[in-house]
Amino acid sequence: MSNEIRNLEPKALWNNFADLNAVPRPSKKEGRVIEFIKKYGESLGLPTSVDETGNVIIKKPASTGMENRETVCLQSHLDMVHQKNNDTNFDFSTEGIQMYVDGDWVRAKGTTLGADNGIGVSTIMSILASKDIVHPALEALFTIDEETGMTGASGLKGGLLKAGILLNLDTEDDHELTIGCAGGVDVTANGNYYEESIPANTVGYLLTLKGLAGGHSGMEIHLGKGNANKLINRILQQASESFGIRVSSIDGGGLRNAIPRESKSELVVPKENEAAFKKFVESEGAVLKQEYATTDPGLQVILEPKEISGKVLSKEFQDTLLRAIYAAPNGIFRMSPDIKDLVQTSNNVARVLVKDSLYTIQNLTRSSVDSEKMDLAREIRCTFELTGAKVDFNGSYSGWTPKPETPIVKLMSGLYREMFKTEPLVDACHAGLECGIIGTNYPNMQMISFGPNILGAHSPDERVQISSVQKFWGFLIETLKRVPKQ
């Protein structure tokens, strides 16, 4: 890794980020990073504990003269999204993230960077180790599994924390002070299907749709980016009707909280329709490139000859499945009627895997209104039940209701105006933040979320702005100085 990263300011933060990014930390496999943070707290001589869920809590006494101030909980999550480009040779289980400086940005080479939420974690580490930062009594809360279920926040028991204020360092726009967020639920359809032998007089092909921008399926759902699962299905469904293709497999998308960037399908086409099918794919690829030129300029549709050795979906099931995926809601479902420009409810058709008589379709449905979240989830369930699938709801979590009149919101809004001579955007976001879940066991805790500029989270294009990290750091340090008395 380039020493450029470690020489950035503030050095303590960037050095902690470099150390953290050497530790593999995928969601649900955080054992190594839990131990890393635990040892870090112990090395500082601070009271350090790991709760039964795996969350790490480190406590630091107030600096001199700040003993009568409200205790503050600094909170970030330890896990990161592991995504890479198909042509990137990288093993997340053994390798550290390969970072580099690109002008005012830090990026990773062909993978996610882990700035979400590694910058927050590294910031807290730096404050815990500091000998000269003025601060009240601190409780550092490092949660696990935020990205795929928020089980860390869900498993945090009441009574472990004494703080009256929680600062969540997990927002991705440095002019925003977030005071509310969406809840979510995983909607998963699973089923079996009948296979048939490959029809005679057919030719095999591999259809690949790739090069989409991807990104965070909450924070970036309003940008209209292409969803690889929906777009390849658009081609397959039309080709099934017009050219009699038979699908052998579909494999698209990955994590629920990432907009799918790639999908592929193995198929066969009758020889007499081969030329027309190839022309159609070429034409449809050009149409999609035009439609998504602004949001996904790298979109590619590639058709390659391939010998198909397996079987194909029965014609009846193929028609049913392709129609169901076509009909499945994706993207914005409803905008908030109360908060300007806020997506209220959405769905991401995140993963489609059809192979060897089994199929699964994974969705992440979000909303800041719980009743509407579940209404959309039921709509999706009904859609896929028509294919014969069993549809389950898992990992449901509530949103975070905005409370703009709390003292911490007023304090930080005024401080932002004082420091940066402009108004902050005090709003809610469409991502899932842990504040709402933590608040169920700590209902009287004041909460606010903020952070530096991070673009392309959950995709290999993820990057964090160096100057924005410096702005965020200064704002946080000044906030800690001004925390009100108990």
Q: What is the pLDDT of residues 84-132, one digit of tens each?
A: 988 899 999 999 999 999 999 999 999 999 999 999 999 999 999 999 9
Q: Where in the chain is the domain with CATH 3.40.630.10?
A: 3-182+399-481
Mean pLDDT computed over 307-334: 97
**Residue 14: what pLDDT?**
98
Instruction: Identify which has the larger pLDDT, 331 or 428.
Output: 331
Q: How confident is the model over 229-258, as pLDDT tens digits?
A: 999 999 999 999 999 999 999 999 998 989
Whether 1 has a pLDDT exceeding 60, the answer reads: no
pLDDT at residue 398 is higher than 90: no
* pLDDT level of residue 397 (50, 70, 90 thresholds): confident
Model pLDDT, residue 203 = 98
pLDDT score at 156: 97
- Residue 2: what pLDDT? 62
Residue 275: helix, strand or coil by DSSP? Answer: helix
Residue 168 pLDDT exceeds 80: yes
Residue 200 burial class via C-beta count within 10 angstroms: exposed 0-12, middle 13-18, buried 19 and up: exposed
On whether the 3-182+399-481 domain is CATH 3.40.50.2000, my answer is no
Condensed to tens digits (0 to 9), the pLDDT of residues 265-305 reads 999 999 999 999 999 999 999 999 999 999 999 999 999 99
Q: Where are the CATH 3.30.70.360 domain residues in the chain? A: 185-397
Point out the residues that are catalytic.
79, 146
Q: What is the mean pLDDT of residues 357-379?
A: 96
What pLDDT does residue 289 have? 98
Model pLDDT, residue 86: 82
- What is the DSSP annotation of 386-410? TTT-EEEEEEEE--B---TTSHHHH
pLDDT at 224: 96
- Tokens coding 278: 């190839």
**Structure confidence at residue 432 (pLDDT):** 81
What's the whole-number average pLDDT of the chain? 96
Question: Which of these, 275, 251, 338, 263, lies nearest to 301 by C-alpha position?
Answer: 263
Question: Which CATH code for domain 185-397?
Answer: 3.30.70.360
Segment of 215-224, 374-383, 399-408, 438-447 carrying the highest mean pLDDT: 374-383
Query: How wide is the angle at C-alpha 315 spanned by C-alphas 246 and 243, nearest 5°?
Result: 45
